[in-house]
Structure 1
Amino acid sequence: MDNPCSGYLVSGGGARVWVDAGSGTLAQLQRHVRLDELDAIWVSHLHADHSADLLTAYYGALYADIQLAAPIPLYGPPGIADRLAHFLTNTAARSPIESAFAVEELHDGHRVAVGALTLTSHAVAHGIPAFALRVDVGGRSLAYSGDTAPCPGLTSLAGGCDVLLCEAESAQAPSEGERVHHTPEDAGDTARVAEARRLIVTHIGRFLTPQQAVARASTRFDGPIDFAAPGATHSVD
């Protein structure tokens, strides 16, 4: 209850970006900003816990008591427009998702200015097309892992950032097979190698408490560590 997954409102320099749109995040977002007040939406990958509320946002953008001046810029993995249209189309005619969203597909090294914010995306290791994000504004920087195993793409993107927002989904690394998530220790390692100034762990797996995740990450990273509690606000200083 009251714990949507996963989504974040990133704001700076007057610009506001909805980062990931998992289940339940639209309701929480509207406590802070209306859809027609967003400058952009950025989606790391197309698993439902990071993208499902785009379906609700489509109807909200077109049929709620707001008036879009223009479709909302939507940055997401290749195929995001067709994925949305597949879910939303109920007749022989394709749903006009472009009426709500101005879609631009991400690629490794994608960079775009959203108001005063610079958004840079790097491909990461999650078994499907997936991206991490770096937001720079006024000499400050936030890096967000999305969902990924430890990988050079994330470490490079997060290099020297003020804050690394990093998932810690896995209680332990798999003994075999493909890795697709960080453990808390991995999050600490990534923050340390990237020389991040502060670590915030998020997307904690259900077999961990936030306190356990923070404690385990602290065995690998000496800087400040916080947990992204639902509804919490964190400043990037």
Structure 2
Amino acid sequence: MINDPLDLTVLGSATPYPSVDNPCSGYLVSSAGTRVWVDAGTGTLAELRRHVRLDELDAIWISHLHADHSADLLTAYYGALYADVRLAAPIPLYGPPGVADRLAHFLTNTSTRSPVESAFAVDELHDGHQVRVGTLTLTSRAVAHGIPAFALRVETGGRSLVYSGDTAPCAGLTQLAEGCDVLLCEADSAQVTREEERVHHTPEEAGDTAAAAGPGRLVVTHVGPFLTPRQAVARASTRFDGPVEYAAPGATFSIG
């Protein structure tokens, strides 16, 4: 409904592996009864279950196939098919090209391919991919991470959230985030590396992307182990004049 908030719940935001109190990248995006698991990094499935069962999800969206964003798809597969979950239909899974085969390679232990498609109805992403999931419109754009990778814009009732996934600064992300209410942007790199190696934002670059796109609020996430959240927020704030916050594990940001 138009008056329902768009909620972003942080399941985890650590990289490249979980800390004792913070799983890897994963978020629950919800509004008016629609629930989407965005990225399935290591440890996020357990946190997801605090809020929703697998068979209550409307979809899963995966930005790219690095383990700190996708590894818990493996355990979700076992939960969906071999535990206390009873799926009425496979869970819609939106992910990079090859996501189903990648899962099958990990899961298959005999000459018979594991039934990945019994758990997940896979729809491969492409630049400009758009789908309606319940009350939410999901739009994906290709971004610069050295492998197939995507950013996501979620819209409902005039409210909008953009998630960078993992990426160096790029036009695709800036264009996708233009005028959004909240930009959830990674701030992984402590410093800029050589141009050919750049696959992440520094905190300053997260601020630059926000300044160019003009969101109402910037939330930095995926802060690397060589930065503290406070440092990341302070550094991003030198480049973006709007509110800057950190995606602390367990936090919920309500847009509406």
TM-score greater than 0.5 by the shorter chain: yes
Equivalent position of 1:130 in the other structure: 149
Decide which of 35, 41, 52 is 1:16's aligned counterpart.
Answer: 35
Q: What do the CA deviations read for 1:72-95 (whole angstroms, capped 9, x no partner)?
A: 000000000000000000000000
When the two structures are superposed, what TM-score results if normalisation uses the length of structure 2? 0.92
Q: Which secondary structure does the structure 2 equivalent of 1:84 belong to?
A: helix
Q: What do the CA deviations read for 1:1-32 (whole angstroms, capped 9, x no partner)?
A: 02111100000121000000000000010011
Q: Which amino acid aligns with 1:174?
A: T
Q: Which runs of 4+ in 1 moved over 3 A?
A: none
- Tell me, which stretches of 5 or more residues in structure 1 are unaligned? none
Decide which of 141, 149, 162 is 1:143's aligned counterpart.
Answer: 162
When the two structures are superposed, what TM-score results if normalisation uses the length of structure 1? 0.99
- Tell me, which stretches of 5 or more residues in structure 2 are unaligned? 1-19
Q: Which secondary structure does the structure 1 equivalent of 2:189 belong to?
A: coil
Matched, 1:70 2:89: yes
Identity of aligned residues (%): 81
Q: What do the CA deviations read for 1:115-147 (whole angstroms, capped 9, x no partner)?
A: 010000000000000000000001000000000
Equivalent position of 2:14 in the other structure: none
1:41-80 to 2 correspondence within 5 Å? 41-80=60-99
Q: Which secondary structure does the structure 1 equivalent of 2:26 belong to?
A: strand
Q: Which amino acid aligns with 1:62?
A: L
Q: Tell me if the contact between 1:13 and 1:117 (Cα under 8 Å) persists in the aligned partners.
A: no
Equivalent position of 2:49 in the other structure: 30
Higher relative contact order (CA 8 A, sep 6+): 2
Q: Which amino acid aligns with 2:67?
A: A
Mapped partners of 1:187, 1:224: distance in 2: 13
Mapped partners of 1:177, 1:111: distance in 2: 30
Q: Tell me if the contact between 1:173 and 1:179 (Cα under 8 Å) persists in the aligned partners.
A: yes
1:1-237 to 2 correspondence within 5 Å? 1-237=20-256
